[in-house]
Amino acid sequence: MAQIKPSLAKGTRDFSPLEMERRNYIFNTIKDVFRKYGYQEIQTPSFENLQTLTGKYGEEGDKLIFKILNSGDFISKISAEKFATLHSNSITPLIAEKALRYDLTVPFARYVVMHQNEITLPFKRFQIQPVWRADRPQRGRYREFYQCDADVVGSESLLNEAEFILVYQEALSSLGLKDFVIKLNNRKLLAGIADIIGKPELLIDMTVAIDKLDKIGLVGVKQELAAKGFSTEELAMLDPIITLSGSNVDKLATLKEVLKSSEMGQKGIEEIEMVLAYAQKLDANALPYIEVDITLARGLNYYTGSIFEVKTNEVSMGSIGGGGRYDDLTGMFGLPGLTGVGISFGADRIYDVLLELDLFPESTTKTTQVLVTNFDQSTEDYALSLLQTLRKNGIASELYPVAAKLKKQLTYADQKKIPYVIFIGAEELSSGMLTIKKMITGEQEKMAADDLFSYLINTADPN
């Protein structure tokens, strides 16, 4: 077998034990909150039939879907004459009928349609799985990354939206974040703005431009809108909307006035007010985290009602979550008229935020709690029985697997971040008093084995 210098595929990552514990800490915290709000976990396969995915993510998205080469003699059906007439796009469906999951939403829509006779509406599911995109890898952008979604389908109630705000608030607070904002907008409100301007056909252009306010400023947005065909009068009308400020109540009052001629706009305002009212009744403490943000469009074409985005103010970072309501989630698979609303946590970014703010608790490190030393054959029998008693008491423990120098064993404990080392030598064996060393402080204590168990159960991290 030829030797190969090992390397990772471009844009992919290994996760070490420490990274895994930290990732699990984030996922478990979010899962607990999802469950508390009635969401249940599902999983869908890593690959789908290619036709399930193509055409759902726009032309650019289609290019970024990883296709899986058919197995067997996939090429024999293509003659050299035919080959000469093909290009990469036209040959792909001939040699690849499967593709890797690009997001969790489309497979979820497929799931709902295929399992419509088993599920009870409203169906509240969460899903935490990797997705794959053939993006050019760069700092913070990977070709394999996890999405962490919760959605409910089959319920129009805006209570769902309010609960998602609480899910964000509770999960992020549990992770130790303090200063974050949950931005709320409504697509109908944006449509209402287009309405009063009289250019509904430019709605997408308008939201895309408004979305850039942070980056290019009011002048830039207006330049872009002018280039798209908005007149000076229309831009003047938009002005108070784009520069809207004050409390949520202030903003909504201004909007009501500006949009009074647009039924659609009024409906959007009403929906936002209803979401805020529900959130307040559920937990008034969540209100300060919510910010009505008319510039929030998330560049997405498929939201039809509420739009969410979450940002932290503690670290400079893009959004760490987002979502919204989309009518007709399942229409693409032949089940029309089912409304859905969902949110997503940006787990990779949250990881970076917690790391930067030093918010990972020490106790996320679910490593071995105790290393029992191994010096010679004569103490091994005692050590083995002690070892197993520790484990029976729920304490994750290891015996160093061979007799070795003390330094080597301590280095092992140190590098694996094992907090306690128990020494068993001839002296310990004859006196019945074991020495326990607390690695972080270097302190050593002597105690009988029975006292040791209760000492460790009371002080060691639960595993």
CA distance 119 to 100: 25
Residue 194 CB, nearest approach to a copy of itself (Å): 23
Binding-site sequence positions for L-histidine: 103-105, 133, 147, 151, 298, 302-303
Residue 439 interacts with a copy of itself (CB under 8 A)? no
Nearer to a copy of itself by Cβ, of 242 and 286: the residue is 286
Q: How far is CA 4 from CA 9, 13, 14, in A?
A: 14, 19, 18
Residue 141 interacts with a copy of itself (CB under 8 A)? no
Nearer to a copy of itself by Cβ, of 334 and 432: the residue is 334
CA distance 460 to 463: 9
Nearer to a copy of itself by Cβ, of 1 and 219: the residue is 1
Nearer to a copy of itself by Cβ, of 316 and 415: the residue is 415
DSSP classification of residue 372: E
Beta partners for 438?
Answer: 420
| Stretch 309-368 residues interacting with a copy of itself (CB under 8 A) | 331-334, 366-368
- Interacting residue with a copy of itself among 98, 222, 251, 437 (CB under 8 A): 98
Structure token digits, residue 340: 């859905």
Residue 137 interacts with a copy of itself (CB under 8 A)? no
Structure token digits, residue 9: 């595929």
Residue 402 interacts with a copy of itself (CB under 8 A)? yes
Residue 20 CB, nearest approach to a copy of itself (Å): 4
Binding-site sequence positions: 103-105, 133, 147, 151, 298, 302-303
CA distance 451 to 88: 71
Residue 278 interacts with a copy of itself (CB under 8 A)? yes
CA distance 420 to 438: 5
Interface region with a copy of itself, contact rule CB under 8 A, candidates 196-204, 250-258, 277-285, 343-351: 277-285
| Stretch 41-80 residues interacting with a copy of itself (CB under 8 A) | 41-49, 51-52, 55-56, 63-64, 66-69, 71-76, 80
Residue 248 interacts with a copy of itself (CB under 8 A)? no
Residue 89 CB, nearest approach to a copy of itself (Å): 9
- Using DSSP, state whether 459 is helix, strand or coil: helix
Asked whether the beta carbons of 192 and 265 are under 8 A apart, the reply is yes
Residue 183 CB, nearest approach to a copy of itself (Å): 22
Nearer to a copy of itself by Cβ, of 257 and 334: the residue is 334
- Interacting residue with a copy of itself among 249, 384, 440, 448 (CB under 8 A): 384
Structure token digits, residue 433: 């008093």
What would the DSSP string read from start to end of 134-174? -PPPBTTB-SEEEEEEEEEES---THHHHHHHHHHHHHHHH
Q: Looking at this protein, which amino acid is placed at residue 15?
A: F
- Interacting residue with a copy of itself among 29, 105, 147, 160 (CB under 8 A): 160
Residue 403 CB, nearest approach to a copy of itself (Å): 10
- Interacting residue with a copy of itself among 110, 183, 298, 311 (CB under 8 A): 110
Nearer to a copy of itself by Cβ, of 38 and 246: the residue is 38
- Using DSSP, state whether 20 is helix, strand or coil: helix
Asked whether the beta carbons of 321 and 302 are under 8 A apart, the reply is no
Structure token digits, residue 282: 């559920």
* Nearest to 308, CA basis, from 316, 317, 320: 320
Interface region with a copy of itself, contact rule CB under 8 A, candidates 105-113, 301-309, 423-431, 447-455: 105-113
Asked whether the beta carbons of 278 and 161 are under 8 A apart, the reply is yes
- Interacting residue with a copy of itself among 231, 243, 411, 444 (CB under 8 A): 411
Number of residues that bind a copy of itself (CB under 8 A): 112
Residue 181 CB, nearest approach to a copy of itself (Å): 21
Nearer to a copy of itself by Cβ, of 217 and 361: the residue is 361
Asked whether the beta carbons of 66 and 99 are under 8 A apart, the reply is yes
CA distance 404 to 456: 25
Asked whether the beta carbons of 309 and 296 are under 8 A apart, the reply is yes
Asked whether the beta carbons of 41 and 128 are under 8 A apart, the reply is yes
- Interacting residue with a copy of itself among 416, 438, 445, 454 (CB under 8 A): 416
What would the DSSP string read from start to end of 62-87? HHHSPEEPPSSSTTTTS-HHHHHT--
Nearer to a copy of itself by Cβ, of 195 and 398: the residue is 398
- Interacting residue with a copy of itself among 117, 120, 430, 458 (CB under 8 A): 120
